[in-house]
Amino acid sequence: MQPPVRRERFPALFPGEPAFRWTQAEQALFQEGKNGWADITTFSSSMRETLTKELPWMSVVSDRVVTNRAGDTHKAVLRTADGLRFETVLMKNKRGQWTICVSSQVGCAMRCTFCATGAMGLTRSLTSDEIVDQYRFWKTYLVEKVLPGRISNVVFMGMGEPMANYENVKAAIRTWLKHTDLGPVRITVSTVGVLWQLDKLLEDKDWPPVRIAISLHSANQKRREEIIPSTTPDFLTHLADWARRYGDRQGNRRHHVTYEYTLINGVNDSEEHAKELASYIRKTGAAKINVIPLNPVPGKPFTAAAQRRVDRFKDIVSSFGLDITQRRSMGEDIAAACGQLALETK
Ligand code: SF4
């Protein structure tokens, strides 16, 4: 069972208070210099006392933080009120600011064969507070460690499948958009492709206009099922249809779909695979492709594609007139890179 969340507990604690009191309380969570409910001086002392006693200011606590050799990636193991641990990552980005990679679940049910989190199975989805507080945790960390720069981007590429925790992910994003300087195009929700939830998103007027990335990993149905056993029948046909509808409704230069493609040596990195991918993406509408060589996980039989194979793969895809980039792998030495989260949690 998930712990109760602040926006539900607050009105239950103060049934006679007007709704704007909760907005004030939520605003305070993001204000610099405020370290607890006791710092909200616009509230009466009895309100502050009740809040301090009944409602945790932070929904997660830090077990430990590790920093990589280069000093540009930090990984935290956070603990929930019910004692579960999950990981979140802070990375220096190209603009000299910080990107945080947040988790949406403890573990994951999607079983991607190359991923450490997938091997854990799913324990439970995180609450909206536990997602929101990953941002607050790293914001405080930057201040405490006197690290220059601000959090400019959030990516849902940590533990879990965000579309399998749709409502809490949506609530967390809406909270950040309301109380931080993050704009919607600075937030990316990366999903393995839970099609019925992606459909829901197209109809949902409250879904914020954030960026969507699809973890594709293969443009061949059978091979994708081998890499991601939770792939649904006829997935690629349905996804192409969804992507075209997304393009019609929400797509523009800033809201193209990004396809993530992890290059695994001998599995999906050949010239034939590159051509297959390019032909598929051309059918889906405006898109970008982002490749990343696999970050190896101990005990898994997969290795990363060599850089010359990555370059060849990129050349072939771009010869079809498609936009393809290679993502930088960060934090591999502290198991903070994509697909590696969970190694510390265990
Ligand atoms: S890659 Fe993402 S969706 Fe797949 S098992 Fe890992 S955490 Fe889950």
3-state helix, strand, coil in the chain (%, to 5): 40, 20, 40
99-141 residue pLDDT tens: 999 999 999 999 999 998 888 899 999 999 999 999 999 999 9
Nearest by Cα to 299 from 116, 26, 44, 25: 116
User: Ligand 1 center to residue 53 CA distance, Å?
Assistant: 37
Taking residues 26-34, what's their average pLDDT?
95
Q: Where are the domains of the chain?
A: 6-54, 60-334
User: Which is the catalytic residue, given 112, 115, 338, 344?
Assistant: 338
Q: What is the mean pLDDT of the chain?
A: 93
Would you call 332 a catalytic residue per the annotation? no
Q: Give me the pLDDT at residue 292, please.
A: 92
Instruction: Judge if the beta carbon of residue 106 lies within 6 A of ligand 1.
Output: no
Least trusted range by pLDDT, from 46-55, 305-314, 322-331: 322-331
pLDDT digits (tens, 9 = 90+) for 156-182: 999 999 999 999 999 999 999 999 999
Distances (CA, A) of 45 to 23, 49, 331: 18, 6, 45
In this prediction, residue 255 carries a pLDDT of 72
Q: Is residue 108 in contact with ligand 1, taking CB distance under 6 Å?
A: yes
The residue whose C-alpha atom lies closest to atom 5 belonging to ligand 1 is 118
The two structure tokens encoding residue 280 = 């598929």
CATH class given for the domain over 60-334: alpha beta
**3-class DSSP state of 154:** strand
| Any ligand 1 atom below 6 A from CB of 116 | no
Q: Which residue has the tokens 């091979």?
A: 223
pLDDT at 249: 83
Q: Which of 108, 194, 232 to mutate to test the pocket of ligand 1 (most atoms within 8 A of CB)?
A: 108
Q: Please provide residue 119's backbone torsions phi and psi, each rounded to the nearest 5 degrees.
A: -70, -20
Instruction: Indicate if ligand 1 lies below 6 Å from the C-beta of 340.
Output: no
Atom from ligand 1 closest to the CA of residue 111? 5
Q: Is 338 one of the annotated active-site residues of the chain?
A: yes
Distance 97 CA to ligand 1 centre (A): 26
Query: CB of 292 closer than 6 A to ligand 1?
Result: no
- The answer to whether the CB of 154 is under 6 A from ligand 1 is no
Question: What is the Cα–Cα distance from 5 to 299, expressed in whole angstroms?
Answer: 37
Mean pLDDT, rounded, for 11-27: 95
Which of the residue ranges 2-11, 308-317, 330-339 would you say has the lowest mean pLDDT? Answer: 330-339
